[in-house]
A and B are shown apart, each in its own frame.
Chain A
Amino acid sequence: MAKEVIVLIKIVDSGLTNDDVVGEVQYLIEDLRDLDGMSQTRFYVVNEIRDSDEIRVGIRFEVSSTENFRSVIKRLRDRLFYNPIETRFLFQFSDLKLQIQTHKAEDLIGLMSAIQSGYLFPPQYNYFLEVEKCIHTHYHLSNVDINNLKLIGQRLGLTQEQAHDLNDEVAGKYKTREEKHNYFEKITFEEFMYFRRMRESYSFASKDRWPMLEELAENLGLPKSEAELIYKHYYKDYNEDIKLKSEQQLAKASQEAESKAKAERQKQAQQAQEWRDQYRSLCREAMTSNIYPSEYDQGRLDQARRLRNISVDEAISIEVEVRDELHGGIQSAAGVDYSRLRNLLHQQAWQEADMETEAVILKALDRDMQPATAATVQRLSAVDVATIDGLWSRYSSGRFGFKAQQQVYRAQQQIQQDDRQRLLDFQQALGWREAPSLLYQGYRPYHDLNFSLEAPQGHLPTWRWSCPSLSDRYKPSLEVIAAVIQHLNGCMLLEAAATPALDPAFPTQLA
């Protein structure tokens, strides 16, 4: 200790009488003088006027060695421990003054430790300042610093161990700048990881983490700019993560809203579909045995349509669909109404149906009741052919209709190679012609044909629509028959059958 420490001790306990105070001061002087190295110390008495008497209240003295100073403080602490009287201590280390007023022994322990460390006084104190300067400049002790400090330590008379301890004390727990950097980065990473985990577990208020990390940088002795760079890096990652999660949540919410709206739309569509199905079911119920609903059922359907908000057009369309499904479709490419034909067939009125067939075919061919020819029959659309065939076939359970006739022709093809004869045999197979004899060609009058389900397969409908006259016999021309068969093969879905050759010289009627 280069300079002296001036010590002033004053008893300030108000519970003591003047005599007690004087006695305590006396004991104090004796006690301190008793210490090793203190016998030569000069103690100055501090007086004070109390109750008009000047009495001794304290002492003042100087200590010139750290060892003595430590002994003095230890003795003062022990005195307070055994006799805790309120005392004011004043220590002056050059410009620094420390005042302690206490009756507790432990209040002197801090000072004792400070003295014990030796840092308060030269030479440790001078060395301490040098280390501080280095750390302040470079944020750590570089090799150059350590070498310089070694020399300074030697010059100040410090042992290597003392110098090393002081280096450690000032540099702190993390000595090098790299250690500080790595530690700061590790903690920053852990900090953000901690919040990531927290965020997954529960929602919480967000707080600015930088002040705390800035404090860490300060505590570590890491430059703020360096710490800030590390922080910004991790903060950016963390923020992007949060942003992504928040976007995902928003997208999920919007998806849910969309699904909800979709479900609502589906529900409405389902309701409308349910009502249409109910109406369709009612239609089916009303038209199972009749092509057209009875008046009672019409009433029900009309009311059902109103109650289920089904438009008139849609109701008609459903009815038509159900009717077609139950009783056969009546589609026409030529705009012909086949409903009468369907009614007649439904009633099994075969002859009337045959006559109606003639009427609808001629109408479809726009022949104005002129018989169809081989050339014009080709104009009958496939849709109309299918409709007529479908109706005849449905109500005769496949016995009548164009397809049945086509099948008969197919059978003839297997057994008769001659085209002309095949056509004649075809008419015979259909029951349109009887076996000819010498004087009888076999053609029957129209009214002699069989208008019942007992008729041969393909017997109906007749092709009277191609006959110029029925007054004598029902006798379609072979040319027309060939043309019709060819046309049917083009329209119907039966396997393609060989069509008879059409020779212009071919007689249209048998002689």
Chain B
Amino acid sequence: MEVTQDFDLEEVLYSGLQIEAPLDGFRLILRSLKNWLGRVSQRFLFTLELSQSFLITLQTNQIEPLVQLLILGEYLLPAHDTYLNKAEAYIDSFGELTPCIKANLNLIGYRMKISDVEAKNLNTRVMEPLKDLEEKYSNFRQELLLVSDEESLLDDKFWNSMKQRASVIRLPEVDFDFLMAERQKELREEYESNKRKIADELDLYRKKQENLTRYCKAFEDLILDFIKNDAFDDDPLAMCQEIIDEIELREFGRGRLSEIRSFYKDIPVELNLLEKRVISEICLLLSFF
């Protein structure tokens, strides 16, 4: 909307306004003007430019001539273009022809003297290439799914291109935003799920490591319960064998050792090697005292 101005020496006066409205807004605007003119008494000049070919002017302070303007204007409006214009406006806002939109279009079609068959054809034309919002959603979701590269999905460039695609299939902006948010949420969830998977794998590995550690600890406790101060030997292997022999010599120790080995029988390492390592470490530690 622009305000036109008359310059009167010092003062700037608003003398009128100019509105650019879609074809289907013609009736609404004239009705509003009619209501407004009913409340004022000044004489006004109305200029209507309907496409490049038609220009209507009316200078009046009466309501009646405006009705005449409405009648004439509606006859001059290109019926199909006006209908299509309205239908497209609806589709741009709501993405499909809902019962309410169809009812509105039906009334417009009736006023513009468009037959039911013509209206149906125009409706089909305006919904092309996809027949309803569900199909648009499904189509757009599939397109989003085709891109599995996480980085692309976080990129503004990608979303701008998708926005263009949305406008091609006449997907309203609010729906585009919704689907974008939905996909980004899915993406975050996928990311979280992958993270959890990695964490689970790490957890499994950690549990295996913990098992090893527990085995070592159990074995270490056993050794510490059985080790003798005079058992130190320069040869760790010999000393290791001595301690094991000592444990095996005593029934209680043998029982404990057997239980440890049986409990950790699934550990995928050579238990003997692990036991030797534990004994060596204990001996090394004790040798400092």
* Count, chain A residues at interface, CB 8 A: 60
Given A202, A296, A301, A306, which contacts B137 in the complex, CB threshold below 8 Å? A202
A290 CA to B165 CA in the complex, in Å? 83
Given B71, B107, B252, which contacts A296 in the complex, CB threshold below 8 Å? B252
Chain A contact residues: helix, strand, loop or mixed: helix
A209 CA to B100 CA in the complex, in Å? 9
Beta-carbon contact of B76 and A96 below 8 Å: no
Interface centre among B107, B174, B179, B182 (most CB of A within 10 A): B107
B119 interfacial by beta-carbon distance below 8 Å: no
Residue of A nearest to B141 (CB): A202
Beta-carbon contact of B107 and A173 below 8 Å: yes
Beta-carbon contact of B65 and A95 below 8 Å: yes
Residue of B nearest to A213 (CB): B100
Chain A contacts for B60, CB-based, 8 A: 95
Interface string of A10-54 (1 = CB under 8 A from B): 000000000000000000000000000000000000000000000
Beta-carbon contact of B263 and A304 below 8 Å: yes
B36 interfacial by beta-carbon distance below 8 Å: no
Residue of B nearest to A90 (CB): B55
Interface string of B226-254 (1 = CB under 8 A from A): 00000000000000000000000011111
Given B65, B101, B137, which contacts A204 in the complex, CB threshold below 8 Å? B137
The smallest C-beta distance from A195 to any residue of chain B, in angstroms, reads: 8
The smallest C-beta distance from A19 to any residue of chain B, in angstroms, reads: 27
A299 interfacial by beta-carbon distance below 8 Å: yes
Q: Which of B257-274 contact A (CB under 8 A)?
A: 257-260, 263
Chain A contacts for B7, CB-based, 8 A: none
Given B53, B75, B257, which contacts A100 in the complex, CB threshold below 8 Å? B53
Beta-carbon contact of A307 and B260 below 8 Å: yes
Chain B contacts for A215, CB-based, 8 A: 104
Residue of A nearest to B57 (CB): A97
Beta-carbon contact of A97 and B58 below 8 Å: yes
A320 interfacial by beta-carbon distance below 8 Å: no
A387 CA to B172 CA in the complex, in Å? 86
Beta-carbon contact of A297 and B255 below 8 Å: yes
Interface centre among A93, A213, A306 (most CB of B within 10 A): A306
Beta-carbon contact of B69 and A96 below 8 Å: yes
Q: Which of B146-181 contact A (CB under 8 A)?
A: 172, 174-175, 177-179
Beta-carbon contact of A303 and B54 below 8 Å: no
Beta-carbon contact of A307 and B72 below 8 Å: no
Chain A contacts for B179, CB-based, 8 A: 205
Residue of A nearest to B103 (CB): A187
Interface centre among A111, A128, A188, A205 (most CB of B within 10 A): A205
Beta-carbon contact of A303 and B175 below 8 Å: no
Chain A contacts for B172, CB-based, 8 A: 205, 207
Chain B contacts for A349, CB-based, 8 A: none
A132 CA to B34 CA in the complex, in Å? 12
Residue of B nearest to A119 (CB): B71
Beta-carbon contact of A202 and B54 below 8 Å: no
A212 interfacial by beta-carbon distance below 8 Å: yes
A244 CA to B224 CA in the complex, in Å? 65
Chain B contacts for A207, CB-based, 8 A: 93-94, 172, 174
Beta-carbon contact of A299 and B259 below 8 Å: yes
Beta-carbon contact of A216 and B255 below 8 Å: no
Q: Which of A286-308 contact B (CB under 8 A)?
A: 294-304, 306-307
- Whether A212 touches B68, Cβ cut-off 8 Å, given contacts A205-B178, A299-B256, A307-B263, is no
Beta-carbon contact of B252 and A298 below 8 Å: yes
B223 interfacial by beta-carbon distance below 8 Å: no
Chain B contacts for A183, CB-based, 8 A: 103
Given A120, A125, A195, A299, which contacts B253 in the complex, CB threshold below 8 Å? A299
Q: Which of B50-82 contact A (CB under 8 A)?
A: 52-60, 64-65, 67-69, 71-72, 75-78
A452 CA to B197 CA in the complex, in Å? 70
Residue of A nearest to B54 (CB): A100
Beta-carbon contact of B76 and A302 below 8 Å: no
Q: Which of A177-228 contact B (CB under 8 A)?
A: 183, 187-188, 190-191, 194-195, 198, 201-205, 207, 209, 212-213, 215-216, 218-220
A114 CA to B70 CA in the complex, in Å? 11
Interface string of A161-175 (1 = CB under 8 A from B): 000000000001100
A128 CA to B106 CA in the complex, in Å? 23
The smallest C-beta distance from A406 to any residue of chain B, in angstroms, reads: 43
A307 CA to B259 CA in the complex, in Å? 9
- Whether A96 touches B72, Cβ cut-off 8 Å, given contacts A173-B107, A302-B252, is yes
Chain A contacts for B279, CB-based, 8 A: none
Interface centre among B28, B55, B175, B259 (most CB of A within 10 A): B259
B122 interfacial by beta-carbon distance below 8 Å: no
Chain A contacts for B68, CB-based, 8 A: 93, 96, 120, 125
Chain B contacts for A113, CB-based, 8 A: 75
Beta-carbon contact of B53 and A107 below 8 Å: yes
Given B28, B52, B55, B255, which contacts A300 in the complex, CB threshold below 8 Å? B255
B200 interfacial by beta-carbon distance below 8 Å: no
Beta-carbon contact of A212 and B100 below 8 Å: yes
A132 CA to B27 CA in the complex, in Å? 14
Q: Which of A426-461 contact B (CB under 8 A)?
A: none
Beta-carbon contact of A97 and B259 below 8 Å: no
A215 CA to B90 CA in the complex, in Å? 11
Residue of A nearest to B71 (CB): A119
Interface centre among B77, B101, B214, B255 (most CB of A within 10 A): B255
Residue of A nearest to B76 (CB): A110
Interface centre among A104, A195, A198, A209 (most CB of B within 10 A): A198
B98 interfacial by beta-carbon distance below 8 Å: yes
Chain A contacts for B110, CB-based, 8 A: 172-173
Chain A contacts for B216, CB-based, 8 A: none
The smallest C-beta distance from B265 to any residue of chain A, in angstroms, reads: 12
B37 interfacial by beta-carbon distance below 8 Å: no
Residue of B nearest to A103 (CB): B53
- Whether A132 touches B134, Cβ cut-off 8 Å, given contacts A95-B58, A98-B72, A209-B100, is no
A379 CA to B131 CA in the complex, in Å? 95
A498 interfacial by beta-carbon distance below 8 Å: no
A296 CA to B221 CA in the complex, in Å? 17
User: What are 5 A-B interface contacts by the 8 Å CB criterion?
Assistant: A101-B55, A204-B137, A205-B177, A300-B256, A300-B259
Given A100-B55, A117-B75, 20 other A-B residues pairs in contact with their CB atoms under 8 A: A100-B53, A107-B54, A117-B71, A172-B107, A173-B110, A187-B100, A187-B103, A195-B98, A202-B137, A205-B179, A207-B172, A212-B94, A212-B98, A295-B250, A299-B253, A299-B257, A299-B258, A301-B255, A302-B252, A303-B222
The 8 closest A-B CB pairs, nearest first, are A299-B255, A205-B178, A295-B251, A114-B75, A299-B252, A303-B259, A303-B256, A300-B255
Binding site for A on B (CB under 8 A): 28, 52-60, 64-65, 67-69, 71-72, 75-78, 90, 93-94, 98-101, 103-104, 106-108, 110-111, 133-134, 137-138, 172, 174-175, 177-179, 182, 214, 218, 221-222, 250-260, 263
Binding site for B on A (CB under 8 A): 93-102, 104, 107, 110-111, 113-114, 117, 119-120, 125, 128-129, 132, 172-173, 183, 187-188, 190-191, 194-195, 198, 201-205, 207, 209, 212-213, 215-216, 218-220, 294-304, 306-307
